Structure 1
Amino acid sequence: MAMDPFNQLIVAISVTSFFTFQWLFHKVSPWMSTRISRPGFLGLSDKQKIEWNSRTVSTFHALLVGIFCLYILFFDDPVNEDPVWGDPTWVKTNVAITTGYLISDLLLIFYYWKAIGDKFFVVHHLAALYAYYYVLGEGMLPYFANFRLLAEFSTPCVNQRWFFEVLGYPKSSRPNMANGVAMAVVFFVVRIAVMPVYYVRMYAVYGTAAFYLVPWGGRVAWICSSICLDIMNVMWMHKIARGCYKVLRSARRSKARGPHENGKTD
């Protein structure tokens, strides 16, 4: 049976996305970085350059799909009114872009394992791809797929903090402290605070006629992948919060010691 023209388009978008992100990693990021931050980038080790390029690409992906997600969330009425079987046209397009990125990133993670290898990212990517298979193949659960992608808004802040540190900003510096706090707040808002909203909406459709039209594989992909991803989100939030607390505590101690170093008090 011939493939539906729209599904052919989705495959084409995924493949184009894959090669685009490979091109951004290997060509565009190094070229831009040497011009925007020439002394800093050229002074990095080979491993740091690989991670730099990886984070540059992930930042671009996050902003692209994140803005697309907001548009769908606020203006795609069919998806918001029917979260299980609403018209998935725009969601599938966005998920296709992310699918290409995830496959590209997995390939880079395995190839440059010593530099950017991380077992949790591998699990994260595979869990997401498993769920997206049903979104792209069956057009089901568009609202929930789109909602999960909103988490990408935390990526630019996380990456920016790493850029500051690798370029030599001390953790206690004002730019890095401000970025660290912003990163923690944004990460909490888009990955942790939204969990009740997500699972309340999931519970609202559980047991409905639309829910029972979802095959068992789709339900497993939906529920298990969501739980798996959120467990990792909580783990990462805990790590970020601890790091942020240590930086703020260190800054307070430095400030408290400062006035006494020259024999003066406040």
Structure 2
Amino acid sequence: MTSVENMTFKSYQDRANLFVKEYLLADSLIPYTSVISGMLACKMVFDLTQFLGSNYFKIHSNFSKVQRIEWNNRAVSTTHAIFITTISLYLVFCSTLFRDNSSSELVTVRRSTLTTFALGVSVGYFISDLGTILWFFPSLGGYEYVIHHLLSLVAVAYSMLSGEGQLYTFMVLISETTTPGINLRWYLDVAGMKKSKAYLINGVVIFISWLVARILLFIYMFYHVYLHFDQVEQMHPFGQILVVVVPVVLSVMNLVWFAKIIKGLRKTLAKRQ
């Protein structure tokens, strides 16, 4: 590459870096660019899964149209779950951003570029997934899924745009750690492996992860809210509702689903005795 070509390449590179820094990653635009990025990522994973399923999985050709959509959609939700769970665990338990003694700023209003971007990607996912569920309703999930996604979408979007309660939003999003196991269970089921050892192990993993991420962690979150309720009271009334009411509703739904998980696991274990 000649010196002229090097200078031309560097010029384009500098312009690209400037565009990313001043536009795509500008604080005022991050909520919107991150949401769009999340939706585009969902579309990309959906199409990639469709391609892989059609070309490398023989069972895919036997699926109905709705099953093919669900096959692709579960890959999208698994990808989102891995992404948001990793970031949430880091922010809640490893990062100093939300630690009590790390800043004089109220814990309920702390935010960063990373937190806003991560929440935006999650909003993009919930919009995409909710749209798919409604389009094929009720094939991909009943009213409980619609309610769950609507509550999650409103809570995450408000936290992203206002900057309030992001710590508690990430605590709730850690519950997405159960999603890969749930999706794997569906894949094993459609593959005719309900009697396999993998199916049993998967059921045990779902039970443990659900207990930790959707029961015990919610109890910890409510305890944290109780300890910092004086700060929660300084939030906008709508934010206070989202911090208290939405997790309560989700907790009830989690307990109902947990009862079904226990029932299913007991049934699976009984068949193996």
Matched, 1:77 2:101: no
Match of 1:259 in 2: none
1:35 shift after superposition: 4.1
TM normalised by structure 2 equals 0.84
Match of 1:113 in 2: 137
Contact residue 17 and residue 101 of structure 1 kept, 8 A: yes
Q: 1:96 aligns with which of 120, 131, 149?
A: 120
1:202 shift after superposition: 0.6
Q: Map residues 48-87 of structure 1 onto 2, 5 A cutoff.
A: 48-81=67-100, 82-87=106-111
Matches of 2:212 and 2:53 in 1, distance apart? 30
Matches of 1:198 and 1:179 in 2, distance apart? 27
- Between 191-200 and 73-82, report the one with greater CA deviation: 73-82
Q: Letter of the aligned partner of 1:214 in structure 2?
A: M
Match of 1:159 in 2: 183
Contact residue 161 and residue 179 of structure 1 kept, 8 A: yes
Q: Letter of the aligned partner of 1:205 in structure 2?
A: H
Aligned residues, how many?
244
Match of 2:48 in 1: 28
- Structure 1's consecutive aligned runs of 4 or more residues displaced over 4 angstroms after TM superposition are none
Change (3 A) 1:74 1:114: closer
Match of 1:174 in 2: 197
1:50 shift after superposition: 1.3
Match of 2:258 in 1: 237
SS in 1 for 2:177: helix
Structure 2: gaps (5+ residues): 1-24, 101-105
Q: Letter of the aligned partner of 1:223 in structure 2?
A: V
Matches of 1:21 and 1:164 in 2, distance apart? 23
C-alpha distance after superposition, 1:182-235 (max 9, x if no partner): 1111111111121221110010111x2x32320111111211111111111111
Question: What is the alpha-carbon root mean square deviation over aligned residues?
Answer: 1.7
Aligned-pair identity (%): 25
Matches of 1:212 and 1:46 in 2, distance apart? 49
Q: Letter of the aligned partner of 1:74 in structure 2?
A: F
Change (3 A) 1:114 1:129: closer
- Between 171-180 and 141-150, report the one with greater CA deviation: 171-180
Q: Letter of the aligned partner of 2:260 in structure 1?
A: K
1:241 shift after superposition: 0.9
1:128 shift after superposition: 1.2
Matches of 1:190 and 1:222 in 2, distance apart? 17
1:39 shift after superposition: 1.1
Matches of 1:226 and 1:74 in 2, distance apart? 19
Matches of 1:114 and 1:141 in 2, distance apart? 32
Matches of 2:50 and 2:117 in 1, distance apart? 28
1:104 shift after superposition: 0.3
Contact residue 88 and residue 142 of structure 1 kept, 8 A: no
Matches of 1:83 and 1:124 in 2, distance apart? 26
Matches of 1:165 and 1:159 in 2, distance apart? 10
Matches of 2:272 and 2:59 in 1, distance apart? 25
Q: Letter of the aligned partner of 2:242 in structure 1?
A: A
Matches of 1:70 and 1:221 in 2, distance apart? 21
